[in-house]
Amino acid sequence: MSGFMYILECSDGSYYTGSTKDLDKRIVEHQEGKGANHTRLRLPVKLVYVEEYLRIDSAFYREKQIQGWRREKKEALINGELGKLPGLAECQNDTHYRYFKE
């Protein structure tokens, strides 16, 4: 069964990443306040990105991967700026940066 990984932009500008077997139905659920707590408190939401997979477990895996990303990296994906993704994957922690650059 196929699945979708999607990113919604909420009314407060935050992003919500999810996965589903039925994208249209899930978006309606979010808009009606029947989705996740995050989106329920930040209506309306807007679909800004989607990937389709042959299997729902692949979509779920991708959802979990993207949920761990910083905002800048999610925005690069949403905007199709795929060349920026490797650089945005680097640690931005000041201590880590100094340690590896010395």
9 pLDDT above the threshold of 90: yes
Per-residue pLDDT reduced to its tens digit, 44-98:
999 999 999 999 999 999 999 999 999 999 999 999 988 888 887 766 555 555 4
- Write the single-letter amino acid at 59: A
Locate the domains of the chain by residue range. 3-101
The stretches of the chain forming alpha helices (DSSP H) are 23-31, 37-40, 56-67, 71-78, 85-88, 94-101
Beta bridge partners of 6: 18, 50
User: What is the reported pTM?
Assistant: 0.85
Q: Does the domain formed by 3-101 have CATH 3.40.50?
A: no
32 pLDDT above the threshold of 50: yes
In the numeric block, the tokens 């999610």 are attached to 74
Q: What angle do CA 50, 8, 81 make, to 5 degrees?
A: 55
Under the banding of pLDDT at 50, 70 and 90, the label for residue 33 is very high
35 pLDDT above the threshold of 90: no
CB 37 within 8 A of CB 57: no
pLDDT at 95 (0 to 100)? 56
